[in-house]
């Protein structure tokens, strides 16, 4: 019981500390709370605080995270496993429970603040740009799947996660990873490689991308429709601002949003009982996404402040838990070289195909760059890249593309994963 309480408190309170540090430290703010959570989790999980499974217990687990407590007690009484295996099983049970709850609770909160109707009306060119970007991603991810499927563990699940992370970032990656029951090692490795390669991509977008793409694509057309951006920019610049959540008014409103999120989870779980057990988690995730989007169209819900930030808190919790479950030593094994190559192909290959499609459809270079930014990272980075391009008029296209990609990425990732599983 002491181990359970200690773990729960650690996983709940540490993200609060990280959020606080993001606000008081410029350095940590640049790194981000999610990345910091991964770093803390990897350290905690790999410095010997958690016991390692004995060879016999690894065999008994057969790939599972944990086993029912009574079953493990029987193995211990029979002398088949060690006392440390019993503790490890208890830790695994706590970790699995928190992971299973964090994402389903987070998703509605993240989606409540997204007024899809409004975003659809704000920039018609964003829709074409989104279609080209997503098409590029699907082409490359599918090609990579057939290239690496025999060399990568859970390759069809990785394909789904890559579609998620390059349409909606970490929240979609986490949601799809949960829906597909991806092993912690594969999840953390995929996201780690994405972070490394993504930093290279962002540097390119901020520096040489405009000059390179201008050699191939039309220059930005000055006749693009000008749209008032002040409100849109203000909203998205505040995405990582958690201040004000703990005020009396904020707590009352967020309690309502959290309660609604729990109700959505309960309803989604109830409906999922109508399908086979193996399909229940994907159905739950997709139902939660759908309910969240629909309720986000109601002004009484979308007007609640800080729901996105509250959802991101649960994403940070998830990131901390899953990274603490990963074996850091496995990241440097040659066995995962193909996974690194697959992620690299998704990052750079989809960019090349996107530029080619933009050339065919005569989409200008600045719009192409801002779309790549919005899909690969998040709407939060759009104003930064637009500033580097010295073109504020692409901000609305980038933000709209990012919002739409984020909203529908879960459907795409889960759907593509199960489609590829059949091959």
CA distances from 378 to 15, 146, 151, 371, 372 (A): 21, 28, 30, 10, 10
197 within a domain of the structure (yes/no): yes
Count the domains in the chain.
Answer: 1
- pLDDT at position 223: 42
- pLDDT at position 342: 95
253 within a domain of the structure (yes/no): yes
Residue with tokens 């025999």: 150
Instruction: Quickly count: other Cβ atoms within 10 Å of residue 173's Cβ.
Output: 27
Give SS3 for 278.
helix
With pLDDT > 70 as the criterion, what percentage of the chain qualifies? 87
Contact between 413 and 141 (Cβ < 8 Å): no
17 within a domain of the structure (yes/no): no
375 within a domain of the structure (yes/no): yes
pLDDT digits (tens, 9 = 90+) for 317-372: 988 888 888 766 655 666 678 999 999 999 999 999 999 999 999 888 998 999 99
Is residue 32 left, alpha or beta, with left meaning phi > 0 and alpha meaning psi from -120 to 50? left
H helices, E strands: number in the chain: 21, 0
Q: Is 127 exposed, middle or buried (0-12, 13-18, 19+ CB in 10 A)?
A: middle
HSE-CB of 113 using CA atoms within 13 angstroms: 21
209 within a domain of the structure (yes/no): yes
pLDDT band (50, 70, 90) for residue 419 = very high
57 within a domain of the structure (yes/no): no
Contact between 366 and 339 (Cβ < 8 Å): no
- pLDDT at position 124: 67
30 within a domain of the structure (yes/no): no
19 within a domain of the structure (yes/no): no
pLDDT digits (tens, 9 = 90+) for 95-132: 988 988 888 898 888 888 766 666 566 556 678 888 99
Q: What are phi and psi of 57, to 5 degrees?
A: -70, -35
Instruction: Quickly count: other Cβ atoms within 10 Å of residue 300's Cβ.
Output: 8
Structural domain that includes position 281: 107-423
Q: Which of 32-36, 63-67, 144-148, 406-410 has the lowest mean pLDDT?
A: 63-67
Q: Which of 147-151, 255-259, 383-387, 418-422 has the lowest mean pLDDT?
A: 383-387
């Amino acid at each position: 019981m002491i181990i359970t309480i200690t773990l729960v408190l650690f996983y709940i309170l540490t993200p609060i500390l990280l959020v606080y540090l993001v606000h008081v430290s410029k350095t940590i703010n640049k790194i981000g709370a999610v990345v910091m959570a991964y770093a803390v989790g990897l350290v905690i999980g790999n410095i010997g605080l958690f016991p390692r499974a004995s060879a016999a217990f690894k065999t008994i687990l057969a790939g599972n995270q944990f086993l029912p407590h009574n079953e493990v007690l029987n193995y211990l009484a029979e002398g088949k496993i060690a006392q440390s295996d019993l503790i490890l099983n208890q830790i695994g049970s706590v970790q699995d429970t928190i992971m299973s709850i964090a994402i389903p609770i987070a998703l509605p909160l993240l989606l409540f603040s997204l007024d899809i109707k409004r975003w659809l009306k704000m920039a018609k060119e964003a829709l074409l740009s989104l279609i080209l970007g997503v098409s590029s991603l699907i082409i490359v991810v599918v090609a990579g799947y057939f290239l690496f499927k025999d060399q990568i563990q859970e390759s069809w699940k990785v394909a789904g996660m890559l579609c998620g992370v390059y349409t909606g970032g970490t929240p979609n990656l986490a949601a799809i990873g949960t829906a597909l029951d991806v092993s912690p090692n594969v999840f953390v490795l995929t996201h780690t490689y994405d972070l490394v390669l993504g930093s290279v991509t962002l540097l390119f977008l901020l520096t040489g991308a405009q000059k390179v793409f201008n050699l191939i694509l039309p220059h930005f057309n000055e006749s693009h429709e000008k749209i008032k951006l002040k409100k849109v920019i203000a909203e998205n610049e505040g995405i990582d601002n958690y201040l004000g959540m703990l005020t009396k008014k904020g707590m009352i409103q967020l309690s309502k949003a959290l309660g609604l999120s729990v109700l959505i989870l309960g309803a989604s779980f109830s409906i999922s009982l109508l399908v086979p057990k193996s399909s229940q988690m994907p159905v739950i995730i997709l139902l939660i996404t759908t309910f969240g989007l629909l309720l986000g169209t109601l002004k009484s819900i979308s007007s609640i402040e800080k729901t996105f930030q509250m959802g991101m808190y649960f994403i940070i919790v998830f990131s901390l838990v899953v990274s603490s479950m990963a074996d850091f030593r496995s990241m440097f094994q040659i066995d995962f070289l193909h996974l690194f190559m697959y992620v690299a192909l998704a990052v750079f290959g989809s960019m090349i195909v996107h530029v080619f499609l933009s050339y065919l459809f005569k989409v200008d270079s600045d719009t192409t760059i801002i779309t790549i930014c919005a899909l690969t990272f998040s709407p939060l980075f759009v104003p930064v890249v637009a500033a580097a391009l010295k073109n504020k008029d692409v901000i609305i296209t980038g933000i709209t593309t990012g919002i739409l990609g984020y909203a529908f990425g879960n459907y795409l990732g889960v759907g593509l994963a199960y489609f590829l599983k059949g091959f």
